[in-house]
Amino acid sequence: MATSEKELRKVQAELDAAAFHAYDLDREQTAFVLDDFHQVQDPRLMDDGYFEMVLEKYDDLA
């Protein structure tokens, strides 16, 4: 079970990456969506570092 903020971000990135795969988006399409997505600082930390983590998890699932 994820208890720290860092662990929660990692699990969320893995789920987001899996969703991109489920929708059959390729890496370029995934990067486009992430680049176009509104970044929120609070309460969810969806920043550049998070989006890079999603792409790393996407690659891990490929």
State the Cα–Cα distance between residues 19 and 9, nearest whole angstrom.
Answer: 15
Mean pLDDT of the chain: 87
Containing H/E element for 16?
helix 5-22
The pLDDT assigned to 24 comes to: 96
Would you list the domain boundaries of the chain? Answer: 5-61
Q: The whole model's pTM is what? A: 0.70
* Contact present, 27 and 55 (Cβ < 8 Å): yes
The pLDDT assigned to 5 comes to: 84
Per-residue pLDDT of the chain (62 residues; tens, 9 = 90+): 778 888 988 999 999 999 999 999 999 999 999 888 766 655 567 788 888 999 999 999 98
